[in-house]
Amino acid sequence: MLYQRILFLCSGNYYRSRFAEELFNHQAKAEATCWRAISRGLALDRGTENVGPLSHLTLQALADRQITPLERLPLACSLEDLESAAMVVAMKEAEHRLLLRERFPAWENRVSYWRVHDIDAGEASDAITSMDRLVTELLASCRSGQR
């Protein structure tokens, strides 16, 4: 089956985008949709405190939902990642629009932006709850052909 791809972006590909990717794919597979997600980071170099392949916050939130994540290290976004996606979603406009402008200027206005704060600007539980809702809404819009 050919899948349409959604690309989730955050800074480090360690916490928010990885949670969105895993949750989206879990739900998309359960519903047998033709959509799948990948995730990448726009500034892996800023994640100097990231230890291991995935944030413990993401691991716990996924475990709470009985989702086993793929084990891989964070991946940096490439032009190929952007070009292969039918849709691109960045976790927080105030944080990621500038990074897109700097690194992929042609993509700055082609990305949908959510308002999901990183742990330095908000509570992890609020971010997880927001992403849970936003991913569910996104998948519903994909199913109904709005995307």
Report pLDDT for 118: 80
Mean pLDDT is highest, among 11-25, 34-48, 119-133, for 11-25
d(CA 7, CA 77): 9
Handedness of CA 131, 28, 93, 16 (dihedral sign): positive
pTM listed for this prediction: 0.92
* Residue 142, pLDDT score: 86
Sign of CA dihedral 98, 104, 106, 109: negative
Question: How much of the chain, in percent, has pLDDT values that exceed 90?
Answer: 71
**pLDDT value, residue 52:** 72
Report DSSP letters for the chain, one per residue: ---EEEEEEESSSSSHHHHHHHHHHHHHHHTT-SEEEEEEES-GGG-TT--SSS-HHHHHHHHHTT-PPP-----B--HHHHHT-SEEEESBHHHHHHHHHHH-GGGTTSSEE-B---TTTS-HHHHHHHHHHHHHHHHHHHHTT--
Instruction: Report, at the CATH architecture level, how domain 4-143 is classified.
Output: 3-Layer(aba) Sandwich (3.40)
Predicted local distance difference test score (pLDDT) of residue 125: 82
Tell me the percentage of the chain whose pLDDT exceeds 70: 92
> In this predicted model, what pLDDT tens digit does every residue of 126-140 receive, in sequence order?
889 999 999 999 999
Nearest residue to 135 (alpha-carbon basis) of 100, 87, 76, 85 = 87
Whether 95 contacts 11, CB under 8 Å = yes
Amino acid, res. 8: F
For range 81-99, the mean pLDDT: 96
pLDDT, tens digit, for every residue of 40-85? Answer: 999 988 766 766 788 989 999 999 999 999 989 999 999 999 999 9
Higher pLDDT: 117 or 10? It is 10
The per-residue pLDDT for 37 is 97
